[in-house]
């Protein structure tokens, strides 16, 4: 069923009784051309682009829980392409361009909202670093504007500009950045892939690989073995565990990141704002809740929940930036497990095991990457060659020293 | 989360800082092959389950500790001073 204003009106007149399920619930077949492990944003996007751009439709997406139960439904929904390094900028800009046309491509309202992303700076050194990043972005054709304090004040008069320790000096603004409704992104990709014949198989956990002569030719699952010509991993947060089933060790640690939502409030803040003197960012959802985030908890974790010190830290940063939040009540907080890679950048590459493809290491910035990640991963799987904008995301860059380290701090898995 | 330091007793985890997996051993710089060094610096087992990891008691006795913690539940099953391991190796 195609969604349109007309279909909505017709259904409204019929009491909304004619809507059909958004995707099928098929049983797994014995064999596929491509099996994708992980029904998060990246796995579903990969299926959509394989089917729509490369004509490969004998695909199964295997998800151990329900579609969107992982990070794609847990993130703080920020999309942006304000990266500094040449290995990253064109990739994230492709992603932004795909976001801009996503709803037409999927015939699904993903609530992509280019409400702007503003990174605040609080010192001369930080301003210089932001100016450099803004210039790198503009050279790569990405929009960026360096704002001074008064320009920021005009946008958001309620921040604490004269904070004794962290006065706000200005900000770097990407107007095309913003937010997208995270669940809708998963559902939109799922529906589009399903409509082209992709089997979305839920409650199907991959428990091992079927190997023949050192080549991966299928997967063992909680719903029986499935053979595949190509196997693609997109299991964010669990990459090390699934890779270990194929005998691989990855340059990744799993860490928990928390997110927070306040009670619903009247419109308070237009775009996304990040505090530059601590790790804190805030935006307001369409329902009115303020959506906050901050640092990862800081130690390896597969528990999908966080601990109290980070909550305290995030709230302290919130108060330093925006004292008016003091009386706001927090409604919920939750955590998601992410692949923190050793340079803070992702991996889209063939695995050393033949027949296996790897999409991992997204850290806590992988939501914005969803369209380009699926697009480039599909390209790699279909053609055997990396997509030009993702060519730097190789697994062997760690051993060869070609790291993509936006922060410039060396081998640390708890960066981005 | 609390960590029971062998010297200071049960203390809030915020008194400690975390370094990561305790088991990778640095290859001897001059003799090591490049691949062994890259493995040591970048690759991790990253298990879902018991994990031996290094914590530093910075706001306490300033000892390095090897903590065995389940990464699924944060339950800690053992804490030992890291220098015991070092002494063991030298012997
Ligand atoms: C709190 C939080 C806030 C975030 N905020 C942002 C943000 O504002 N902007 C941004 O760009 N990014 C953000 N991120 C990061 C982003 O959400 C992730 O990088 C991204 O969603 C990861 O890709 P995915 O959607 O494919 O992952 P997931 O949705 O986690 O998909 C992986 C799927 O694989 C499945 N799986 C795992 N193992 C198996 C198995 N053995 N068999 C079958 N299936 C398996 C899992 O169940 C899961 O559904 C945030 C993350 C968190 C946790
Ligand atoms: Zn101590």
Report the C-alpha gap between A120 and A277 in whole angstroms: 8
φ/ψ of B33, rounded to 5, equals -75, 155
Chain A positions contacting chain B at CB under 8 Å are: 238, 240-241, 244, 249-254, 298-303, 307, 309, 342, 398-399, 411, 413
C-alpha dihedral, A146 to A147 to A152 to A153, nearest 10° = 170
Say if the Cβ atoms of A250 and B44 lie within 8 Å.
yes
Identify the pLDDT of residue B89: 53
The 10s digit of each residue's pLDDT in B34-89 is 899 999 999 999 999 999 999 999 999 999 999 999 999 999 999 999 987 665 55
Identify the pLDDT of residue A15: 95
Interval A8-14 mean pLDDT? 95
Q: How far is B37 from chain A (nearest CA, A)?
A: 9
pLDDT at A379 over 70: yes
Q: Is residue B18 part of a domain?
A: yes
Q: Is residue B63 part of a domain?
A: yes
CATH of the domain at B43: 3.30.2270.10
> Element (H or E) spanning B46, and its range?
none
> Element (H or E) spanning B20, and its range?
strand B17-21
Interval A34-53 mean pLDDT? 98
Confidence of residue B29 (pLDDT cuts 50, 70, 90): confident
Confidence of residue A1 (pLDDT cuts 50, 70, 90): confident
Residue A181 token pair: 């409704």
Distance B9 CA to ligand 2 centre (A): 7
Interval A29-37 mean pLDDT? 98
pTM over 0.90: yes
Q: Is residue B91 part of a domain?
A: no
Conformational region of residue A197, where left means phi above 0, alpha means psi within -120 to 50, and beta covers everything else: left
Say if the Cβ atoms of A302 and B71 lie within 8 Å.
yes
Contacts of A379-386 with CB under 8 Å at 24 or more apart are A379/A49, A379/A53, A379/A54, A380/A348, A380/A349, A380/A350, A381/A34, A381/A46, A381/A50, A381/A56, A381/A230, A381/A232, A381/A357, A382/A50, A382/A53, A382/A54, A382/A56, A383/A54, A386/A348, A386/A349
pLDDT at B91 over 90: no
Strand pairing partners for A360? Answer: A347
Identify the pLDDT of residue A166: 94
Interval B5-21 mean pLDDT? 96
Q: Is A40 in the pocket of ligand 1 (CB under 6 A)?
A: yes
Identify the pLDDT of residue B32: 85
Minimum-distance CB partner of B43 among A241, A251, A309: A251
The 10s digit of each residue's pLDDT in A59-91 is 999 999 999 999 999 999 999 999 999 999 999
Distance B11 CA to ligand 2 centre (A): 8
Place of tokens 């053609």: A383
> Element (H or E) spanning A50, and its range?
helix A41-54
CB atoms within 10 A of CB A269: 18
The 10s digit of each residue's pLDDT in A284-341 is 999 999 999 999 999 999 998 889 999 999 999 999 999 999 999 999 999 999 999 9
Residue A247 token pair: 């005998």
Identify the pLDDT of residue A406: 87
Report the C-alpha gap between A232 and A350 in whole angstroms: 9
pLDDT at A364 over 70: yes
φ/ψ of A152, rounded to 5, equals -70, -40
Report the C-alpha gap between A274 and A261 in whole angstroms: 16
Q: Is residue B62 part of a domain?
A: yes
Strand pairing partners for A381? Answer: none
pLDDT at A234 over 50: yes
pLDDT at A416 over 60: no
Place of tokens 């050793």: A342
Strand pairing partners for A147? Answer: A171
pLDDT at A54 over 90: yes
The answer to whether the beta carbons of residues A335 and A74 sit under 8 Å apart is yes
Confidence of residue A415 (pLDDT cuts 50, 70, 90): very low
Domain tally for chain B?
1
What is the span of the domain harbouring residue B49?
A: 2-86
ipTM more than 0.85?
A: yes
According to DSSP, residue A240 is labeled H
Identify the pLDDT of residue B84: 73
Identify the pLDDT of residue B87: 56
């Amino acid at each position: 069923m195609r969604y349109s204003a007309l279909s909505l009106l017709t259904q409204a007149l019929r009491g909304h009784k004619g809507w059909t399920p958004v995707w099928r619930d098929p049983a797994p077949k014995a064999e596929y051309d491509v099996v994708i492990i992980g029904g998060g944003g990246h796995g579903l996007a990969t299926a959509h682009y394989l089917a729509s751009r490369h004509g490969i439709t004998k695909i199964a997406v295997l998800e151990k829980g329900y579609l969107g139960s992982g990070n794609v439904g847990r993130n703080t929904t920020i999309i942006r392409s304000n990266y500094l390094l040449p290995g990253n900028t064109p990739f994230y800009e492709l992603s932004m361009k795909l976001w801009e046309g996503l709803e037409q491509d999927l015939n699904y309202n993903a609530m992509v909202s280019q409400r702007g992303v503003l990174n605040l700076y609080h010192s001369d050194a930080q301003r210089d670093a932001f100016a450099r990043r803004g210039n790198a972005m503009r050279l790569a054709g990405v929009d960026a504007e360096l704002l001074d304090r008064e320009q920021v004040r005009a946008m958001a008069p309620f921040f604490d500009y004269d904070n004794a320790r962290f006065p706000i000096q200005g900000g770097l603004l990407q107007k095309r950045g913003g937010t997208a409704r995270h669940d809708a992104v998963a559902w939109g990709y799922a529906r589009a892939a399903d409509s082209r014949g992709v089997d979305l198989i839920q409650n199907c956990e991959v428990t091992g690989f079927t190997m023949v002569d050192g080549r991966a030719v299928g997967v063992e699952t909680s719903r029986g073995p499935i053979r595949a010509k190509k196997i693609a991993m997109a299991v964010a947060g669990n990459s090390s565990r699934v890779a270990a089933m194929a005998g691989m060790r990855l340059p990744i640690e799993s860490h928990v990141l928390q997110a927070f939502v306040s009670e619903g409030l009247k419109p308070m803040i237009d775009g996304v704002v990040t505090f530059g003197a601590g790790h804190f960012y805030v935006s307001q959802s369409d329902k009115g809740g303020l959506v906050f985030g901050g640092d990862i908890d800081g130690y390896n974790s597969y528990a999908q929940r966080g601990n109290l010190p980070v909550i305290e830290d995030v709230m302290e940063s919130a108060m330093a930036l925006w004292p008016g939040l003091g009386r706001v009540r927090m409604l919920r907080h939750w955590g998601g497990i992410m692949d923190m890679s050793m340079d803070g950048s992702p991996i889209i590459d063939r695995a050393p095991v033949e027949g296996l493809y790897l999409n991992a290491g997204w850290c806590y910035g992988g939501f914005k990457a969803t369209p380009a990640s699926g697009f480039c991963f599909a390209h790699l799987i279909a053609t055997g060659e990396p997509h030009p904008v993702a060519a730097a995301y190789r697994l062997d860059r760690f051993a060869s020293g070609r790291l993509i380290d936006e922060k410039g701090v060396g081998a640390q898995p708890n960066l981005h | 989360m609390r960590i029971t330091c062998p010297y200071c007793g049960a203390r809030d985890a915020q008194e400690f800082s975390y370094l990561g997996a305790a088991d990778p051993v640095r290859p001897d710089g001059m003799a090591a092959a490049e691949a062994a060094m890259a493995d040591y610096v970048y690759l991790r087992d990253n298990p879902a389950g018991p994990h031996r990891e290094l914590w530093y008691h910075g706001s306490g006795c300033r000892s390095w500790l090897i903590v065995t913690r389940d990464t699924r539940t944060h339950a800690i099953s053992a804490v030992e001073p890291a220098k015991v391991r070092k002494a063991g190796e030298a012997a």
